[in-house]
Homo-oligomer: A and B are copies of this chain.
Amino acid sequence: MIDLSQVTVIAFDADDTLWMNEPLFREAEARFCELMAPFIAAEECNTVLFEYEIKNLPIYGYGIKSFVLSLIECGMAISKNTLPNETVAKIIEIGKQMLNAPVEVLEGIEETLEILSTKYRLVMATKGDLLDQERKLFKSGLERFFHHIEIVSDKTPKHYKKLMKHLDVGPEQFLMIGNSVKSDILPVLDAGGYAVHIPFHTTWAHEVATQPIEHTNFASFDSALALTIYL
């Protein structure tokens, strides 16, 4: 069993760890591919869209605005530059609806934070769009549990080391909890910290890591609440 006895800081990923996020994107993709139905089959539409998102990731970064810009670019390519303005307007509207969507806190999270916040310094560490993540945190009502909020442009070992330094803790005192093996687990283990994976039922293809993890600093739990027994 993973030994977490030295941990003093617990960092939580936000999207699909604290609240639901990925299903919003899946739903938006489905709506986009419906709009593209006159030009392309749904499955192929999803493939092409993924290509545009990955191509634009280095320049746009993560988040809904980046996603919408990729949808428009992709839609024009799929329609061979015959995408009606009304469809572009619908795509922009999909984005605005995503940005305005209510925040659905995942089951057991509030209870988990309530328990852990009495014993640990809690941090929220997420990537994505600054304004959007702040807005979701505010809407979630979970802000009061967190000692510090860290919104970064990407999650690499370097980012985690910087966060640990900033929080003035060594890697052996740092535990990260998240749903993305690629963003929340591997770079933290690489930086010498502890990482707990709480899988979520939906994961973006870009975040999927295929190799199983064997590491003394790693564990996987069905829910954050289940982990609290060990903390």
Known: A59-B96, A130-B129, A130-B130. A88 touches B68 (CB 8 A): no
Q: Smallest CB-CB separation from A80: which chain B residue?
A: B85
Query: Which listed residue (B69, B134, B152) contacts A95, Cβ 8 A?
Result: B69
* 53-68 of chain A: CB within 8 A of chain B: 59-61, 65-66, 68
Per-residue contact bits, chain A 59-102, to B (CB 8 Å; 1 contact, 0 not): 11100011011001100100101111110110010011001100
Please report the C-alpha to C-alpha distance between residue A61 and residue B84 in the assembled complex, in whole angstroms. Answer: 27
Interface magnitude class on chain A: 20 to 34
A151 close to B (CB within 8 Å): yes
A202 close to B (CB within 8 Å): no
Distance in angstroms from A157 CB to nearest chain B CB is: 17
CB pair B59 A100 closer than 8 Å: yes
* 19-63 of chain A: CB within 8 A of chain B: 59-61
Q: List 23 A-B contacts (CB under 8 A).
A: A59-B96, A59-B99, A59-B100, A60-B65, A61-B130, A61-B132, A65-B66, A65-B69, A69-B69, A73-B92, A76-B85, A76-B89, A79-B85, A81-B85, A81-B89, A82-B85, A83-B88, A129-B129, A129-B130, A130-B151, A130-B152, A130-B153, A134-B153
Binding site for B on A (CB under 8 A): 59-61, 65-66, 68-69, 72-73, 76, 79, 81-86, 88-89, 92, 95-96, 99-100, 129-132, 134, 151-153
